[in-house]
Structure formats: C-alpha cells, structure tokens
C-alpha cells in the first residue's frame, strides 16, 4: 500500500535542511517562483526530480505578451492592454476572473521587462505569413486566432506571440537563461530529488516536505533512464514507458529520505499530468489516444500532493490537443470534415482550437480535403526549405503516401465511408463561398477561401494518426487564490503555507490553449507564488518577534 502523501510534523524528529521558500519543480514556473522569492529576500531551495527544465525546456519558448511591448512597438504594431484583454476573454472562459485576466494583460509589458532584465532576449522580426511556429530569424507572430474574423470583430488583432530569440526550439534557450539567473541569485537547486509527502503542523499548515534523494550509481542510472525515456518517446513510447517504470523503482528503493523545513511556504510547480495514464483516463479519457507532449516529469505529482492536504482541483478534464494545418499555408485553404462529411470549424483558426473541435465534436476523427491545385502548392512549400522539418515532414508524407484520391466529392465519400450527399453538399457550399456567391457558413476569411475543383484528396488528420501525431497537454490543476497563488480547499479557504504555479495550478491557460499563453502563465503565476510565499515568511517572522 502506498504511503499517504501527508505527514504530520510530530513524526519528524529532525529537519535535514531548511529554507524560507521551498520550490518543488524546476521548469519555467519553478524558476520564476524561485527568482521572485529571492528578490523579496528569501532563502530559496529548489528541488527537482530531474533538473533539466521539464516541459518548458522542450517547448517552443513562446511567451504570450502584449499591450504595447517594446517588440510590438519596434515592429510598428499598435496594441493595448484592453485589446489584449478583449481577445483573451474569448479564449480563457471561466478559468480565471475578469479582474485577474485584466491584471495579467496590464502587467504584460512588465513581465517582458522582468524576463529581459534576467537576460531573456526577444525580437520584433515578424514572419511574412501566418504560421504555427516561425522559422529562425522571426520572433514576433500571431500565435493564436487574433486575426480570425470571429475574434477580430470583438478585439483589435495584434501579434502577441513573443518567441525567445535563439536557434532551434526556443524553450531550451529560455530555460538556460532562467537557470543562469537562478544561479546568479545564489539559489540552491538540487536534482534527483522527488517530493514524497507534504509535512503539516497541527493546524494543517504546510511547513515542509519529505523528499527522496538519489546519489551515486543510482543517481547516474536515474539520469540515463530519464534521458532515454525522453529521447525514445516519439519513436518507441512503449520502451520509454518501461524506462519510466524503472525510474520509479529506483526512487522507491534507493532514494535517501530527507525532511526539509520551509518557513514561508512550499510552491508546487511540477507541471501537468499528461504522462499519468491513470489520471488522464479518470479525467479526460478521450485524449488517451493523443500523443503525449511534455516530459517524464509530467505526472501530476504536484496536484496529488496538493490534494493530499485538502487542496481542490478544477478543469481537470481540460486538455489541449493540437491539430496545426498551417503550414503548409494552402492546407488551411481546404476544408476539414468529420466522419459525416460536415465541416467541424473554420480551418484558419489556431491549431489548438481546431484540435479541440476535432476531439470534442468529432470524437477525434477528421479529414482534410484538398484539390490538386492546393496539394501542389503545399508540396512546393514543403520542398522550399522554409519550414521546420516537423512541419514539412509529416505534411509531405501524408500528401504523397497517406492521401485518398477521387475524381469528385461523391466518389471520395464512397472511399472514406461518408454519406456522399452530405460531403457533396459541404463541398458545394464551400465552393459557393469561395466564388463569392455566398458568405462562408463558418466565417472563414475571404483570402483563405479556395474553390475545391477537379480531383480531390482526403488526408486523415485524426487524433490517433501515426504519420501526423496530435500532441496534447493537460490544462487543469489546483485551485488557487488569484491574488497570491495559495492553494484553496473546496470551500475556498486557503491552505496555509502551500502555493501552486504553472500547469500544477488552475490559471490563465486552463480553459483554451494559445501558443505562448501557458509559458506566460508560468512566469505570471510563478512570480506571484514566490513573492507571496516570502511575504508569508516575513509576516511570520514579524509576528514571532512582535510576540517577544
């Protein structure tokens, strides 16, 4: 039987280490929490199971920011916090209050300045056309659905995706800079350390954590297994999962148990739970077929720790599945239909919104319909060398080897097992809109409409496609006080000494994903939690000295 995740302080005979603020997890959220706490005067200790940056380091390194950032101004882009707020209101739903969202938008420029002050570099160069992720040399772009008519009519669009400047996937660059900033601040970071239980006092306040720490040969083997699991996940997920099981066995058998005292509080920043199959099956089973995006540490451990002391979670069913069909640009000028032959949404929307429609409305099944002209243009773009390999590679394989071809819509429907009359009606209506004879039923921009004529091609872009993986991340987490990041109980009371940030917590990005919004939320919520934990520490010191 597993040990309970909560430990009473009376069971601890000695503290092996102590600090003002203890941060569990060292990704973007954990690093920002540590820096903010340190800037407030705290002695900070960061513990991480692996110490390689988690999902943040493997991300695209895009920070969603606006309201007139220096990069927007340099690019000649006009943006205001109000316009940013008006757009995000359409994406965030009930994840956070309007007051919190407004504070996030109004503090966006300060967030960019804070990151820049720690050495993170941004740039104003914009790509010539809409893309899911810009090539090197381009760092400011439309990272959501801002310019789509349905959204633009409510909020003036502006590019707000601030990709960290660097070569390749910028997440590694972002985390490297944050790691260096943490080191300069003199903050202690210990890897190979897994949080096992939270330690509470008699009042139920969290005052520390019991952790397991590996060293020696066991630590070396742990590092090799973790690297193998992450490196092999894409091609051999079964082998990767075997390595993860071996990791857990190592931690259980060889980790030395230590108790760490945190005078101000504990910040949970261990990421989401996409790699916890049991947890995902409980909350969002339809996404078990998706490709898990993240790292071995995305197991929901921080969420479980918070729940063990009475914390309440929310939006746990929310998962973002990404079905990007631009680039190649001309894919988005085709149509995406479900198994009944009906379009599922405006194809020019941001990939996470298209993926959401595919998974939630169409049970994860969808086909992209192109004609020979669009297919040829897309193939040319893929061969141009102007796309990332992860963008051009799957697209070319699907068009060359994975497409079903037919002379017309009725014949294509027969091959796909769809109702012929419905697919023909869908194509006819789309063509009428493309010719200007009618408005597009789903509000697609005129420039993105193209009549589908001659031979048609159907490409299976379903969630479980082997050639075209559909990445997914979890969005829900622990409920927190939106002013401090303190973890809340079901009745809304805060748990003393416990904070959460990033994807461990309910936040700005917990309803609908937009590129850069999760990382921005990690920075936002990490700074909030780290600062609040140190303020709690200072208050306790003041109360102690005030009492004599």
Convert 55-82 to b/e letters by CB count within 10 Å (16 or more is b): bbbbbbbbbbbbbbbebbeebebebbbe
Q: Are 32 and 111 in contact (CB under 8 A)?
A: no
How far apart, in Å, do the first and last CA atoms of the chain sit?
Answer: 46
Distances (CA, A) of 388 to 343, 400, 427: 28, 18, 31
Token pair in block for residue 504: 């461990």
Q: Is residue 246 part of a domain?
A: no
Number of neighbouring beta carbons within 10 Å of residue 387: 21
pLDDT band at 536 (very low <50, low <70, confident <90, very high): confident
Q: Give which of 319, 294, 291, 352 is closest to 477, Cα–Cα.
A: 319
pLDDT band at 544 (very low <50, low <70, confident <90, very high): low
Shared-domain flag, residues 179 and 308:
yes
Who wins on pLDDT, 78 or 3?
A: 78
Shared-domain flag, residues 333 and 442:
yes
Residue at which a domain ends, from 144, 163, 182: 163
How does pLDDT run across 457-502, given as a tens digit for each residue? Answer: 999 999 999 899 999 999 999 999 999 999 999 999 999 999 999 9
Segments of 92-248 assigned E as strands:
140-141, 161-163, 188-190, 193-200, 206-213
Q: What residues does 257 pair with on adjacent strands?
A: 212
Q: Is 415 helix (H, G, I), strand (E, B) or coil?
A: helix
72-74-78-84 Cα dihedral, nearest 10 degrees: 10
Relative to beta strand 471-474, strand 319-321 is antiparallel
CA distance 501 to 504: 6
Mean pLDDT in residue range 68-77: 98
Q: Is residue 241 part of a domain?
A: no
Token pair in block for residue 143: 């990272």
CA distance 194 to 187: 18
pLDDT the model gives residue 68: 98
Shared-domain flag, residues 349 and 456:
yes
Distances (CA, A) of 525 to 111, 254, 348, 516, 532: 11, 34, 31, 14, 10
Mean pLDDT in residue range 29-39: 98
Q: Are 500 and 529 in contact (CB under 8 A)?
A: yes
How does pLDDT run across 138-163, given as a tens digit for each residue? Answer: 999 999 999 999 999 999 999 999 99
Mean pLDDT in residue range 242-256: 97
Shared-domain flag, residues 123 and 159:
yes
Q: Is residue 57 part of a domain?
A: no
Q: Is residue 314 part of a domain?
A: yes
Shared-domain flag, residues 316 and 337:
no
Residue at which a domain ends, from 163, 196, 223: 163
Mean pLDDT in residue range 246-273: 97
Say how many domains are in the chain: 3
Which secondary-structure segment (H or E) carries 386?
none
pLDDT the model gives residue 548: 39
Mean pLDDT in residue range 208-235: 96
Mean pLDDT in residue range 179-184: 98
Q: Which domain holds residue 174?
A: 5-11+24-50+170-214+255-320+471-546
How does pLDDT run across 362-395, given as a tens digit for each residue? Answer: 999 999 999 999 999 999 999 999 999 999 999 9
**pLDDT at residue 177 is higher than 70:** yes
Q: Is residue 17 part of a domain?
A: no
CA distance 107 to 94: 20
Shared-domain flag, residues 428 and 346:
yes
CA distance 539 to 546: 10
Shared-domain flag, residues 293 and 355:
no
Shared-domain flag, residues 355 and 375:
yes
Q: Cβ neighbours of residue 469 under 8 Å, at least 6 residues apart?
A: 234, 291, 394
Q: Is residue 210 part of a domain?
A: yes
CA distance 107 to 126: 23
Q: Is residue 249 part of a domain?
A: no
Shared-domain flag, residues 296 and 185:
yes
Mean pLDDT in residue range 121-134: 96
Backbone angles phi, psi at 433, to 5 degrees: -65, -40
Distances (CA, A) of 174 to 143, 192, 369: 18, 22, 38
Q: Is residue 223 part of a domain?
A: no
pLDDT the model gives residue 307: 98
Q: What CATH number is attached to the domain comprising 376?
A: 3.90.700.10
Q: What CATH number is attached to the domain comprising 530?
A: 3.50.50.60
Number of neighbouring beta carbons within 10 Å of residue 86: 15
CA distance 162 to 181: 20
525-324-55-23 Cα dihedral, nearest 10 degrees: 10
pLDDT band at 10 (very low <50, low <70, confident <90, very high): low
How does pLDDT run across 422-458, given as a tens digit for each residue? Answer: 999 999 999 999 999 999 999 999 999 999 998 999 9
Mean pLDDT across the chain: 95
Shared-domain flag, residues 356 and 412:
yes
Shared-domain flag, residues 263 and 279:
yes
Q: What residues does 457 pair with on adjacent strands?
A: 370, 405
Scanning the structure block, which residue is given the tokens 């002695």? 43
**pLDDT at residue 399 is higher than 90:** yes
Backbone angles phi, psi at 15, to 5 degrees: -95, 130
CA distance 287 to 470: 10
DSSP annotation of 542: H
Shared-domain flag, residues 387 and 445:
yes
CA distance 251 to 196: 10
Backbone angles phi, psi at 116, to 5 degrees: -60, -35
**pLDDT at residue 328 is higher than 50:** yes
CA distance 119 to 175: 11
Q: Cβ neighbours of residue 428 under 8 Å, at least 6 residues apart?
A: 409
pLDDT the model gives residue 9: 60
pLDDT the model gives residue 540: 80
Mean pLDDT in residue range 71-93: 97
- How much of the chain exceeds pLDDT 90, in percent? 94
Q: Is 42 helix (H, G, I), strand (E, B) or coil?
A: coil
Q: What residues does 6 pair with on adjacent strands?
A: 198
Q: Is 63 helix (H, G, I), strand (E, B) or coil?
A: strand
pLDDT band at 1 (very low <50, low <70, confident <90, very high): very low
pLDDT the model gives residue 5: 67
């Amino acid at each position: 039987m597993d040990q309970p995740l909560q430990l009473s302080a009376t069971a601890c005979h000695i503290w092996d280490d102590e600090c003002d603020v203890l941060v569990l997890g060292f990704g973007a959220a954990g690093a920002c929490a540590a820096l903010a706490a340190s800037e407030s005067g705290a002695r900070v200790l960061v513990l991480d199971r692996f110490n390689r940056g988690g999902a943040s380091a493997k991300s695209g390194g895009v920070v969603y920011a606006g309201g007139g950032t220096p990069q927007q101004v340099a690019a000649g882009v006009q943006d205001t916090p109000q316009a940013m707020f008006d757009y995000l209101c359409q994406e965030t739903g009930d994840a956070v209050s309007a007051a919190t969202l407004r504070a996030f938008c109004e503090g966006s420029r300060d967030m960019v300045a804070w990151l820049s002050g720690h050495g993170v570099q941004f740039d104003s160069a914009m790509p010539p056309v809409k893309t899911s992720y810009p090539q090197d040399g381009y760092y400011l772009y439309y990272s959501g659905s801002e310019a789509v008519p349905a959204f633009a009519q409510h909020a003036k669009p502006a590019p707000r995706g601030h990709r960290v400047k660097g070569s390749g996937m910028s997440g590694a660059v972002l985390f490297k800079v944050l790691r260096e900033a943490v080191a300069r601040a003199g903050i202690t970071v210990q890897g190979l350390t897994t949080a096992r239980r939270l330690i509470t006092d008699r009042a139920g306040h969290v005052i520390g954590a019991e952790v397991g720490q590996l060293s020696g040969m066991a630590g070396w083997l742990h590092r090799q297994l973790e690297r193998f699991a992450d490196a092999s996940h894409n091609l051999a997920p079964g082998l990767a999962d075997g390595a993860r099981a071996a990791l857990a066995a190592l931690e259980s058998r060889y980790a030395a148990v230590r108790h760490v005292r945190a005078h101000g509080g504990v910040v949970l920043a261990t990421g989401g739970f996409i790699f916890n199959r049991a947890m995902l099956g409980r909350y969002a089973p339809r996404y078990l077929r998706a490709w898990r995006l993240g790292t071995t540490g995305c197991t929901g451990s921080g969420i479980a720790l918070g729940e063990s002391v009475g914390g309440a979670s929310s939006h746990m069913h929310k998962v973002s599945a990404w079905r990007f069909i631009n680039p190649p640009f001309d894919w988005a000028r085709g149509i995406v239909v479900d198994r009944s032959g009906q379009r599922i949404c405006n194809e020019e929307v941001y990939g996470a919104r298209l993926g959401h429609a595919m998974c939630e409305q169409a049970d994860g099944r969808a086909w992209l319909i192109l004609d020979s002209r669009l297919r040829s243009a897309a193939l040319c773009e893929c061969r141009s060398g102007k796309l990332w390999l992860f963008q051009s590679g799957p697209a070319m394989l699907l068009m060359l080897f994975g497409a079903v071809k037919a002379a017309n819509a009725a014949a294509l429907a027969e091959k796909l097992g769809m109702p012929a009359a419905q697919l023909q009606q869908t194509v006819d209506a789309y063509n009428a809109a493309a010719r200007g004879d009618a408005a597009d039923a789903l509000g697609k921009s005129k420039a993105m409409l193209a009549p589908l004529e001659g031979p048609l091609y159907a490409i299976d872009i379903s969630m479980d496609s082997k050639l075209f993986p559909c990445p997914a991340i979890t969005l829900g987490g622990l409920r927190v006080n939106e002013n401090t990041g303190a973890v809340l109980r079901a009745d809304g009371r805060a748990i003393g000494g416990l904070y959460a940030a990033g994807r461990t917590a309910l936040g700005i990005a917990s309803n609908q994903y937009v590129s850069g919004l999760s990382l921005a939320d990690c920075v936002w919520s990490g700074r909030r939690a780290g600062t609040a934990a140190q303020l709690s520490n200072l208050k306790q010191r003041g109360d102690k000295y005030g009492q004599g």
